[in-house]
Amino acid sequence: MRKTLRFKKSIHFSVIPWTSKGGNNACQHGEVAVARGESPTVAWLDTADTYVAETIANIGFDVMVLDMQHGMAIGPDRTALWLQAVSTTDTIPMVRVPWNEPFFIQWVLDAGAFGVIVPLVNNSKDAAKAGGACCYSPGGYRSVGPNRARFYGGIDYFKQANKEIICLVMVEDINTVANIEKLADAPGIDGFYIGPADLAVSMGLEPQAYSGSSKHTEACRHVLDTANSNGLVAGIH
């Protein structure tokens, strides 16, 4: 594949409001970060405006994430155009899909996303559902037909996709944190992505009050430690 997420099981990342760069060597950004012991730089966009995407993608970030779940009226058509804009650069494009449903995951992967963040994952069954949707058989049940991705990812896309596509499942409930070890064993997932506001609400906190809560910090640390001990990625914004 032309772009790669070879660093996906090696590091942890947090998200900042913007992201990425230009060319056909997206893997180099992540690999350089790993070599330095750093996390990749990641931008989070809640607009699918293609000019905004193209502009930010030339800044020099490693990864860009488009938020279909809480972004401004972002459906599959606008997402596909966003992916085309980002693909003019070296930036690795990822998408937070709106729901843990296989058809959302297939739409964005076939259109050229190199990874997904999947919300509403509360147990190992939910996690396996998300992971399976990201992988071709025998690793999962993703249907073969990567329309645009076969041009964007290269002629070896099918052979490499299961190894390169990243799937992060969201941890948004304190009950999920308590069972995080079971999620870590789910096939097809590469790590966890903490939704701090929803996690706070599940703990009886105000959505934006989590920064001052030691219990919230403790829960996040448990997710990170579990990721570390299982060779998985951990992310948060």
* Cα–Cα distance, 198 to 57 (Å, whole number): 28
Which amino acid, one-letter code, is at 98? Answer: P
Q: Which of 93-97, 150-154, 158-162 has the lowest mean pLDDT?
A: 150-154
Q: How many CB atoms sit inside 10 A of residue 9's CB? A: 14
What's the average model confidence in pLDDT over 88-95? 94
Residues 6+ apart with CB under 8 A from 36: none
DSSP H or E run through 219: helix 214-229
Q: What percent of the chain has pLDDT over 90?
A: 73
What are the boundaries of each domain within the chain?
Answer: 13-236
Segment 115-125 shows an average pLDDT of 97
Q: CA 227, 28, 168: angle at the middle one, nearest 5?
A: 30
What pLDDT does residue 13 have?
A: 44
Residue numbers annotated as active site: 70
Which CATH superfamily groups domain 13-236? Phosphoenolpyruvate-binding domains (3.20.20.60)
Which pTM was predicted? 0.87
Distance of CA 135 to the CA centre of its chain: 14
Q: Which element (helix H / strand E) includes 88? A: none
pLDDT > 70? residue 191:
yes
Give the H/E segment covering residue 2. none
Question: What pLDDT was estimated at residue 150?
Answer: 78
Q: Over 90: is that where the pLDDT of 237 sits?
A: no
Q: What is the dihedral of CA 152, 40, 11, 149, to 10 degrees?
A: -10
